[in-house]
Amino acid sequence: MLRSLVEGRALKRFLLENDAGDAHKSQRAVVVGGGYVGVEMAESFRRQGLDVKMVIRSGQVMRTALDDDVRQVVEEELARQGVEIVVGKPVAFEGDRRIEAVVVEPGDGSGSQRHPCDVVLFGIGVRPEVRLAQAVGVALGATGAIATDDHMRTNLPDVYAAGDCAEAFHLLTGQRDVVRLGSTANKQGRVAGTNAADGEAAFGGVMGTMVAKAFDLAVARTGLTAVQARVLGYDVRETMVKAQDASHYMPGVSPIHVKLVVDSATDRLLGGQIVGRRGVAKRVDVLATALHHQLTVADLQRLDLSYAPPFAPVWDPILVAANVAAK
């Protein structure tokens, strides 16, 4: 498992030490799980020269973060880079002194499969570390994380919580959520520290905005996916466009995919997902800002976004997506 920078360094040292001796050179890696960490570690192993398989129960990378049409772009990039996705769950590990294989149960009745490997990494999600909080009587929320208000206060006087162990208010769902991102943790920590020192600060809530790297692609999302919006009862309109991240005559221009999730009843933006090589983080931040201010598709169409041939075409991909959504 990979839980800290120290463990990451130990894993890299293990690979380098094995490379130094031909008898035990690491050649094959299995990543269990298909979330952000799983995808990024698959890339790290490939860049170390290992053959990589990802064992994912659903067979879908970033399943809760992306809709199927956006996920397909990411999975095509993984395949292009030589990462094989194995559908199923690990049921056994073979090897005495060192790992030799992972046995996977596909779940379709076809029988277990054996996948030889030299290293296995688990990226199957995390749970809030709340044992200390429970021991002193701090209340937990429905998510299993520490229940907090917008001042990051717990149920105990003068006790605050922030970061991966604490809940936050999701501005779109209206529910408590746990968003395990460094940006969220730092903002919550600032609020908690200010209030603990007799200041006055409030945490504004989350949209679930994130960006991750998948080899040559940046993968970003904010707000709700179409699946999440429908679960909440929205009548959803989905728009996905394939545009260019710069003017077509510029060197290095590449495709960028922009997806908008819109409330059909009000035309209000509910979420967005973007995948491309360049300019992804900038554009998802535009969508996050639009969500914070409850902008509609028409509002997006009117945005005065920057243009210069090396950075964006005359019609920015966000504007292209908004124009298509408006139709």
Greater model confidence, 78 or 127: 78
Domain 131-196 identical in fold to domain 210-326: yes
Residue 20 has pLDDT above 70, yes or no: no
Contact 146, 133 (CB under 8 A): yes
- Phi and psi torsions of 138, nearest 5°: -75, 135
Give the global pTM. Answer: 0.90
Confidence of residue 24 (pLDDT cuts 50, 70, 90): low
**Predicted pLDDT of residue 19:** 60
Per CATH, domain 131-196 is 3.90.180.10? no
For residue 1, the model assigns a pLDDT of 61
With bands split at pLDDT 50, 70 and 90, how would you rate the model's confidence at 10? confident
Q: What is the mean pLDDT of the chain?
A: 92
Sign of the four-CA dihedral 295, 297, 300, 302 = negative
Question: Partners of 257 in the beta sheet?
Answer: 242, 275
- Residue 100: predicted pLDDT: 87
Where exactly are the structural domains of the chain? 5-122, 131-196, 210-326
pLDDT over 80 at 3, yes or no:
no
Distances from the Cα of 10 to the Cαs of 6, 52, 166, in angstroms?
Answer: 6, 19, 29
Q: What is the pLDDT of residues 49-97, one digit of tens each?
A: 999 999 999 999 999 999 999 999 999 999 999 999 999 988 888 888 8
Banded pLDDT at 18 (limits 50, 70, 90): low
Considering the domain delimited by 210-326, tell me its CATH architecture: 3-Layer(bba) Sandwich (3.50)
- pLDDT band at residue 232, thresholds of 50, 70 and 90? very high
Q: pLDDT tens-digit profile of 180-191? A: 888 999 999 999
The three-state secondary structure class of 312 is strand
Give per-residue pLDDT as tens, 207-220.
Answer: 999 999 999 999 99
Other beta carbons within 10 angstroms of residue 279's beta carbon come to 19
* Cα–Cα dist 225/219, whole Å: 14
**Would you mind telling me the total number of residues written for the chain in this entry?**
327
Please compute the mean of the pLDDT values over residues 224-249 and round it to a whole number: 96
Is the pLDDT confidence value at 15 over 90?
A: no
Q: What digits encode the pLDDT tens for the residues 85-125?
A: 999 988 888 888 888 899 999 877 788 899 999 889 888 88
Amino acid letter, 201: A
Distance CA 37, CA 164 (A): 15
DSSP category for residue 180? -
Instruction: Indicate the fold that domain 5-122 takes in CATH.
Output: FAD/NAD(P)-binding domain (3.50.50)
